Amino acid sequence: MYTNSDDSLVERVEDQLLRLLQDEYAKKQQISDELLSSLNFVFGNPLLPALDLVDHSNITKFSSPSGRVAFQVKGTTGHLYALLPSSQFCSCPYHEFGVLKRKEAPMCKHALAVLISCAVGTCKEASLSDEHLAQLLLTNTDTAVDET
């Protein structure tokens, strides 16, 4: 059974791996097989699709004048997902069923793609007014499946 200390241990391992990824990519512009298999072990199935999203530059980081930040990920079907940097919440069905219900992976491919693209520095950047940034996040909530 999971306890809080296990959760924070998992988070530390994730952080460490992402830092390794950042260092390695900065030096060699590629990811070694060894690191890939560690990433795969920790992040599971969403890893390869996430790398694919990063490869296709599907991640955009939006900043507003007041300093708020949100990420937008274009999914494989062209659907847009908005994510906040501080949470790994995503409105995609996999987040709800694969991550929260079946606990198959710590996060979905969109949230993982955001982390990876930030670590390797391939995230596109754009500015957005505070109003538009709020709208981006609200639109996202509307598309989420409501299962109450």
Nearer to Zn ion among residue 39 and residue 92 (C-beta): 92
Binders of Zn ion among residues 105 to 144 (CB under 5 A) are 108, 110
Of residues 129 and 141, the one with the C-beta less far from Zn ion: 141
Query: Taking CB under 5 A as the rule, does residue 92 contact Zn ion?
Result: yes
Please answer whether residues 102 and 88 qualify as being in contact, where contact means their C-beta atoms are separated by less than 8 angstroms: no
Site string for Zn ion, 10-39 (x = CB under 5 A): ------------------------------
Three-class SS state of 71: strand
Cα–Cα separations (whole angstroms), residue 112 to 49, 69, 85, 132, 141: 9, 17, 11, 24, 19
H helix runs in the chain, sequence order? 4-28, 33-43, 47-55, 93-94, 109-120, 130-143
- Cα–Cα distance for residue pair 54/114, rounded to 1 Å: 8
> If binding is defined by CB under 5 A, does position 99 make contact with Zn ion?
no
By beta-carbon proximity to Zn ion, the closer residue of 70 and 108 is 108
State which residue, 90 or 119, has the beta carbon closest to Zn ion.
90
> Where does this chain bind Zn ion (CB under 5 A)?
90, 92, 95, 108, 110
